[in-house]
Structure 1
Amino acid sequence: MTSKIKNNTEKPTSGIRAIAEELGISIATVDRALHDRGRISEKTRARVLQVAEQLNYHPNRAARDLRLNRRFRVSINFPTGIPPFFDALRSGIEEGALPFSSTLDIEFHSYSLPYDHARNSIQSALDASVDGIIAVPPNTFQMAELVRKANMKGIPIVCISTDVPESGRLTAITAYPFNCGAMAAEALFSHMNKRGSVGVLTGNLEYLNHAEKVRGFRTMLSQLSPAFSVAAVIEAHDDPHEAYQGVRRLLQSTPKMAGLYISTANSISALTALREAGRLDSVAVVTTDLIPELVPYLREGIVKATIYQCPETQGSLAIRTLYWYLSEGMRPLHFIGVIPQLIIRSNLDLYISTNKYIAR
């Protein structure tokens, strides 16, 4: 499927003139700095870019690419698991692509579980000779090899929500997963008794973001109190049935479990398992992200907090970063972090009012 979105027609001339006046240099020099052409010192270029950022000015690259008859084709490859999270990522990508719609075609491709289908999906995009790829890949040797292959072909890959760090990918955009896990541990700790066991429900530890959340959770929990221990880490592979069965087994093996950290948006079936076991009142729960079904649990205080990974922001950053690289050759930072946020009962309505998937 190809998405084409109306172009932003705002003229940038006044912005260039304002930058030139601010720095006391010519408009031609500002133009060379912004578009990386002609001879210009790195010091001057850095000053121009800094002032442009302060003035919230962004060059209309799409208009220039349209004049040059340049088009870019980008493949977005997401798994089908946890629709609300990936729907939000997609929405962010579509909104981030708005200024470039006249020269950018984005194609969304989904693949079903198991996760090794991710490799086939990305390989198909490479075979189709797209200009760039945004993907949610597992951190496996096979995937790293595929990303290196793409890099050798000149097809940049942006990892979103997770990372394959030793692969030559262009960049990774995530919500600091280690810190997400640490935040969850601190939030959970404040609602538990002085000692006990806690469980962790995650997706797939082959994904770096899932593994890092668990590591951050363990690290912070041990710092807060040696009296708490992680009873088990259950991989549910973003499958609601696996999450339900995993929590049931955990409750049987750890009858005095004091808390549960759910590190993906696959939370509702886990909460159902707690309810059926009569443990909603005795097990403190911290979840991840915000979906409509989770709202009543937060309002009633059953879920103490949820760690919001700002998927719309991640999506917007991913497509803009990739477009700027394709259009301008602007190499991004090796890693781009989005600060995660803590949603609790007292600020829940603020998030609902700005989240179109919840407010509708």
Structure 2
Amino acid sequence: MKKVTSYEIAKEAHVSVMTVTRAFKKNSVIKPETRERILSIAEKYGYQPNSLAARLAQDRLLISVIVENTFLRLTEELTSGMKLAENMLKDQKVDLDLHVISYQNNSSQTIIGEIDTAVDSGAKGLILVMGHYTQDIIDRLNDIIASGIPVVTLINNPQTINRLCNIQGNEYMIGHMAAELLSGSIREGEVVVLLGDEEADVHKEMLKGFTAALEDSEVRLYNAYDIKENLEFSRQIIRQIIAQKPDIKGIFISTALSVAVLEELNSMNLSGKIKVITSDLFPELIDYINNGTVQATIFKDPSKQMVDAISKLYINISGISDDTTDIRVVPQIIIKSNLSAFLEEK
């Protein structure tokens, strides 16, 4: 029999998840008929609250962060942001709980299982960092939101989730900046864009910005390729591009999987011969920026995005503010001359 979670009890009883939690506490303030209804439903399904988690959560605010680990370095940046936020809120009795889902085991069932685990552990708010959202994930999240638990989405922004807000880089601006950098350095010719997932809203927005910036330029977009957030596939794609279009002038790699592409270019003796713009900043990119293989990288500051997400949830749950405005983090261009300054800050 499938394990029933507190949010499912709340849904059937037409109450919030917090009310379900209070129903199991003898001294909590709750209408007798409401308590009786909740306990009756719980008994029907054999539901028992996670007493340890509930006890720990009584006087503290638990926020659960659920990350689909598409790229280790990105997950590390997000974790760094969690640590910064935890330190900022250390006097506010806020606990942060991280759930990392392997990209190789990212089925809807697995993701929903992690979401349910977070809710059952007493999370008062959720932050989701997903490469994709299937309809059953969206439905589960909307049910949880309806029960009184707010959700913030980070990076990808599915419009059908009734989330508190979305936080991501300004993807349109990122695409525009990348196209400006390429057109300014090669003047004319054709360029390609490598997308992490062409169906993701973030990549669609980025591509819009990129193509808009080339409208009055002699530089033309040859094609945009979906590398499916897959290292080996990204290697195959760049070899395919060079075989089909050996005179390509520039490449914008909008995904964090840029190192695999750069390694392939190096193996074909093309490092420095094709202008390359990447996104984000992580240790493996440093040498490529310093030796000129990468002309610039556009930094979206995922660590700051995580800090903003946690802060937004905290002030909402604690009643300090009911602001639901989306946040678009302004991207920054990193080149060889200012690289050391960024590394010192990190």
What is the TM-score when the length of structure 1 is the normalising length?
0.73
Q: Distance in 1 between matches of 2:338 and 2:84?
A: 25
Give the direction of change, closer, same or farther, for the CA distance of 1:204–1:213 in structure 2 (3 Å limit): same
Indicate whether 1:199 and 2:192 are aligned: yes
Q: Is the 8 A contact 1:176 1:337 kept in 2?
A: yes
- 2:285 maps to 294
Which of residues 164, 171, 180 in structure 1 aligns to 2:174? 180
- Residue 218 (structure 1) shift: 1.5
Q: How much does 1:162 deviate?
A: 2.3
Corresponding residue number in structure 1 for 2:7: none
- SS where residue 179 of structure 1 aligns? helix
CA distance in 2, matches of 1:204, 1:72: 34
Amino acid at match of 2:169: A
What residue ranges of structure 2 are gaps of 5+ in the alignment?
1-56
Mark the runs of 5 or more structure 1 residues left unpaired by the alignment.
Answer: 1-67, 356-360
Q: Report the identity percentage.
A: 28
C-alpha displacement of 1:275: 1.4
1:93 maps onto 2:82 in alignment: yes
**Structure 1 segment 95-174 matched on structure 2, within 5 A:** 95-101=84-90, 103-113=93-103, 117=107, 120-126=110-116, 128-129=118-119, 130-137=123-130, 138=132, 141-174=135-168
RMSD of the TM alignment (CA)?
2.2
The change in CA–CA distance for 1:220 and 1:141 in structure 2 (over 3 A counts) is farther
Aligned partner (choices 260, 283, 286) of residue 274 of structure 2: 283
Q: How does 1:19-58 map to 2 (within 5 A)?
A: none
Letter in 2 for 1:209: V
1:216 to 209, 216, 231: 209
Whether the 8 Å CA contact 2:187–2:219 is kept in 1: the answer is no
Between the aligned partners of 2:138 and 2:115, the Cα distance in structure 1 is: 16
Residue 214 and residue 118 in structure 1: after superposition, are their counterparts in 2 closer, same or farther (change >3 A)?
Answer: farther
Aligned CA distance change for structure 1 residues 88 and 340 (closer, same or farther; 3 Å): same
- Answer whether contact 1:260 1:285 (CA < 8 A) is retained: yes
| Inter-CA distance 128–301: structure 2 relative to 1 (3 Å threshold) | closer
CA distance in structure 2 between the partners assigned to 1:115 and 1:142 by the alignment: 16
Q: Which runs of 4+ in 1 moved over 6 A?
A: none
Q: Specify whether residues 135 and 69 from structure 1 end up closer, same or farther in structure 2 by C-alpha distance, changes over 3 A only.
A: closer
CA positional deviation for 1:329: 5.9
1:55 aligns with: none
SS in 1 for 2:215: helix
Within 2, Cα distance between the matches of 1:258 and 1:248? 15
Q: Number of paired residues? A: 285
Q: In structure 2, do the counterparts of structure 1 residues 176 and 314 end up closer, same or farther at CA, with 3 Å as the change threshold? A: same
How far off is 1:188 after superposition?
1.2
1:99 Cα shift?
3.8
Residue 264 of structure 2, aligned match among 255, 262, 273: 273
Task: Decide whether the 8 Å contact of 1:111 with 1:117 is kept in 2.
Answer: no
Match of 1:256 in 2: 247
